[in-house]
Amino acid sequence: MKRLVQCVPNFSEGINKKTIEAIVAPLKNKAGFTLIGYEADPDYNRTVVTLLGDPEAMMEPLCLFIQKAIEKIDLRKHQGNHPRMGAVDVVPFIPIKGIKMEECITYAKQLAEKVSTFQIPVFLYGKAATKPERESLPAIRQGEFEGMKEKLLQPEWIPDYGPRERHETFGVVAIGARMPLIAFNIDLMSPDKEIASTIAKTIRKSSGGFQYVQAGPAYLNQRGHIQVTMNILDYTKNPIYRLLEMVKMEAKRYLIDVPSCELIGLVPRKALEESVFYYLERDQKNKSKFSIAEIAELAVFYLGLRDFNPGKIIESHLKE
Amino acid sequence: MKRLVQCVPNFSEGINKKTIEAIVAPLKNKAGFTLIGYEADPDYNRTVVTLLGDPEAMMEPLCLFIQKAIEKIDLRKHQGNHPRMGAVDVVPFIPIKGIKMEECITYAKQLAEKVSTFQIPVFLYGKAATKPERESLPAIRQGEFEGMKEKLLQPEWIPDYGPRERHETFGVVAIGARMPLIAFNIDLMSPDKEIASTIAKTIRKSSGGFQYVQAGPAYLNQRGHIQVTMNILDYTKNPIYRLLEMVKMEAKRYLIDVPSCELIGLVPRKALEESVFYYLERDQKNKSKFSIAEIAELAVFYLGLRDFNPGKIIESHLKE
C-alpha cells in the first residue's frame, strides 16, 4: 500500500500573488506527492498549502520552498490578522493512510534538522514535541515574531534545532506531527471584532469551552466582517455542526447574522458526514449512502460553506 | 459582618417522608443558621438539604443529623438514579459572605473528625482535598457504596479520617469545601435514557465538552421522562442558558421537546441574571435593574424553570 501523508505548511504572505507563486513553485508537479492546493487569505496575510503523498518525496521540495520564503519574506514588515512567528510559520505532517504517527514524527525531525542549517531556530510541536509545554502551537507561538528575540533567551524556550537566535527576517518555525484537524472559520455579519472575541471565548478550551477547540477573533478587511476562526483538534468529540450552532446561538444576542463559513485545507469525509447527519435527522430527511460529491453538496447547503468543492475532502484523493 | 456559609448535605433517602423528616429534624429551628429547604427526589431516592448561616452553629446539629441517618438508612437496600456511596453522601461547605475558603476547609475538617468517631470513613474533597485525585467528588464516589469495601483497601484510597473499612449500612461520606455550584437538570420528553446519556456527553468536560460541566443521564420514573442532570462548577464560564440551548439543539436531532428544567438548592442571583440577559438581548427587550422577584419571574419564563421561587436565590436571604 502507498504511504500517504498530508503536509500543510503555512507561510506568511497572503496578498502579493507573485511572491506566493514564487514560494509555492518548488512544490508543483513533483513526483511522489500532489500539491492539492494553496489558499491565500489577504486579511490573514497568510497562505495555507496542502500536500498529499509520500513524505520521503516531499523533503527536498519542502527545503526549496522554505529557502524561497527566506528569500522573499521579511517578517519585520509583515502585518496580518493571524498570529505568526515565522516566514514559514508551521509545517505539520499528518498520517492519512499506511503510515504511523511515529514515522511522521521522524520526518518532522528530518526536516527540522535540514531547516536548522539555514540558521533558523526550529521548535518541534504536536506529537513531535520534546516537552509537554511544546505540544500546543499557540503556546510556542505566543509573543509572535516580535517577541521571539527575547523568548529564545529563556531557558525553557531553547529551540530543538538551530541557533538560539531569531532569524532576522524569517523568524522561527514550528515543525511537527499531528492528527488531522479541522480549520474552520465562521462568518459573522458585523464589523465589531470585540464580538468575535467574546464568542470565540465561549467555545474555546482555554476560556472554559470545548476540550478540543482553539478559537480566536478575526476581522476580514476585504470582506468587511468579522470571523470566529478555529481549529477543531478532534472532530469526533467536538463536531463541526455543534460549533456552528453554538456560534449562531451566541450571535443571536448581538442580533448578528451567521450566513456562511469556510473550511481551510482538507477535511476528512467523516467530519462532514457526521455534521450533515445532524441536520438530516433534525429535518427528518433520509440518510442514504452518499457519494463524496453528494456529501460535499449537503455540507455546502446545511453548513453554508463557501469556496468549497469535493476536492477538499481527503477521500476524493484516495482512489486506489 | 455576619459570617455566612452555605452547607448542602445530600442524603440517600428521597421517598419515605417519615424517614426524611426524622433525619432533617435536628437541623430545624436552630440558632445561628437557617434550614432554607430540603428537596426530596423520589427518582434519585436522595434529598438535598440547604443550610445558610454561621458554620460554627451548624456543627453540632450536623452531627445529630448524620447520627439520624446512620440509624434510619441502610444503603444495602438503597436504589436510586443518582450515584451514592453513603447514607449521608456528601457535605460541602460553601463560602457566601464574610468568610474565606480557608475557614470553610477548617470547618470541613472539624466535621470530618467528629463524624469519623461514628466509625465512618471520611474523604475530604473539593478545596479541602488532601490529594489532587480527591478534588473531584465523582472520582471519590466511583464504585459507589457497593465498590467501597474494596476501594478502601487500595493504598491510594485510604480515607482521610475514620476506619479503613466501609460502615456496613452507612457506607462512606465525602466532606469538603467548594465554590458555589449550580445543580441544573434539564427535562427531555423521551423515555430513552440512552439519549440523555449521549446528550450529556456532548456537554460534559470528561467527554470533550465544557470545562466546568459534570453531566449524566437520569430517567425519572415518577414523571416518565429522561433528564440531563448536571453540575456547573463555574457559571461565569459556562452559563446556564448556554447549556440549556446546547441541550435543546442536540435534542432536535431526536425530535424531542425540552419544555422545562430545574435548579436544585440555592443559586446566586448573578447566575440567573446573566442567563436572563441573554434572552432579553436576543429578544430585544429592555434590561432594567430587576428586583430578586423579577429576576426569578424572568428566569422561570425564559429558562422554563419548574418548582422555582425567589427563596432559591441566595441573595433573597442576605437582607442585612
**pLDDT single digits (tens) B135-191:** 999 999 999 999 999 999 999 999 999 999 999 999 999 999 998 899 999 999 999
**Closest to A88 (Cα-Cα) out of A113, A117, A120, A114:** A120
Length of chain B: 320
Is B296's Cβ below 8 Å from some Cβ in A? no
Ranges of residues in chain A whose predicted pLDDT is under 50: 320
Provide the pLDDT for residue B318: 80
Is A67's Cβ below 8 Å from some Cβ in B? no
Q: Is the ipTM of this complex over 0.90?
A: no
**Residue A63: phi, psi to the nearest 5?**
-65, -40
Domain at A182-317, CATH homologous superfamily: Formiminotransferase, C-terminal subdomain (3.30.70.670)
Residue A253 CA to residue B277 CA, distance in Å, equals 9
CA distance A306 to chain B (A): 23
Provide the pLDDT for residue B248: 98
Provide the pLDDT for residue A1: 59
Provide the pLDDT for residue A187: 98
pLDDT at residue B130 greater than cutoff 50: yes
SS3 A48: strand
CB contact under 8 A, B254 and A281: yes
pLDDT mean across residues, chain B = 95
Catalytic residue among A82, A167, A225, A317: A82
CA distance A242 to chain B (A): 8
Is B238's Cβ below 8 Å from some Cβ in A? yes
> pTM, whole model, 2 decimals?
0.83
CA distance A123 to chain B (A): 28
Cβ atoms < 10 Å from Cβ of A279: 19
Nearest Cβ partner for B209 among A211, A252, A278: A211
Residues of chain A positioned with their CB less than 8 A from the CB of B254: 281
Catalytic residue among B82, B167, B225, B317: B82
Nearest Cβ partner for A208 among B212, B253, B278: B212
Is B31's Cβ below 8 Å from some Cβ in A? no
CA distance B14 to chain A (A): 34
Residues of chain B positioned with their CB less than 8 A from the CB of A249: 242, 245-246, 249
CB contact under 8 A, B281 and A211: no
**Residue A62: phi, psi to the nearest 5?**
-65, -40
Q: Which cell is A61 given?
A: 521540495
Given the C-alpha cell 449537503, which residue does it identify?
Answer: A298
Nearest Cβ partner for A205 among B211, B234, B281: B211
Is B242's Cβ below 8 Å from some Cβ in A? yes
CB contact under 8 A, A209 and B211: yes
Is B274's Cβ below 8 Å from some Cβ in A? no
Residues of chain B positioned with their CB less than 8 A from the CB of A284: 255
CA distance B33 to chain A (A): 35
CB contact under 8 A, A234 and B208: yes
Residues of chain A positioned with their CB less than 8 A from the CB of B198: none
The DSSP H or E segment spanning B188 is: strand B182-188
CA distance B197 to chain A (A): 14
Site from A203, A249, A256 to mutate, B interface, most B CB atoms within 10 angstroms: A249
Residue B255 CA to residue B190 CA, distance in Å, equals 10
Average pLDDT over residues B272-281: 97
Q: Which cell is A184 given?
A: 474552520
Average pLDDT over residues B17-28: 98
**Residue B236: phi, psi to the nearest 5?**
-75, -30
Is B43's Cβ below 8 Å from some Cβ in A? no
Is-catalytic flag, B82? yes
Provide the pLDDT for residue A289: 87
Provide the pLDDT for residue A2: 81
CB contact under 8 A, B282 and A252: yes
Site from B252, B254, B256, B258 to mutate, A interface, most A CB atoms within 10 angstroms: B252
CB contact under 8 A, A211 and B205: yes
Residue A192 CA to residue A202 CA, distance in Å, equals 16
Is A253's Cβ below 8 Å from some Cβ in B? yes
Q: Please, is B182 exposed, middle or buried when counting C-beta atoms within 10 Å of its C-beta (0-12, 13-18, 19+)?
A: buried
Residues of chain A positioned with their CB less than 8 A from the CB of B282: 252-253, 255
pLDDT in tens, B210-221: 999 999 999 998
Residue B20 CA to residue B12 CA, distance in Å, equals 9
Is B34's Cβ below 8 Å from some Cβ in A? no
Is A283's Cβ below 8 Å from some Cβ in B? no
Q: Where are the domains of chain A?
A: 4-177, 182-317
Inter-chain CB pairs, A–B, below 8 Å: 50
Provide the pLDDT for residue B265: 87
Given the C-alpha cell 447547503, which residue does it identify?
Answer: A301
Question: What's the first-to-final CA gap in chain A, in angstroms?
Answer: 9
**Dihedral (CA of B214, B215, B220, B224) sign:** positive
Band (pLDDT 50/70/90 cuts) for residue B319 is low
What single string gives the DSSP state of each residue in B57-81?
HHHHHHHHHHHHHHHH--GGG---S
Nearest Cβ partner for B207 among A202, A237, A249: A237
From A252, which residue of chain B is nearest by alpha-carbon distance? B282
Nearest Cβ partner for B210 among A208, A253, A284: A208
Average pLDDT over residues B80-88: 93
pLDDT at residue B320 greater than cutoff 60: no
What single string gives the DSSP state of each residue in B206-252?
GGTSBTTEEEEEEEETTTTEEEEEEEES-TTTS-HHHHHHHHHHHHG
Annotation: CATH topology of B4-177 = Formiminotransferase-cyclodeaminase; Chain B, domain 1 (3.30.990)
Nearest Cβ partner for A208 among B238, B255, B281: B238
Is B309's Cβ below 8 Å from some Cβ in A? no
Q: Which residues pair with A199 in a beta bridge?
A: none
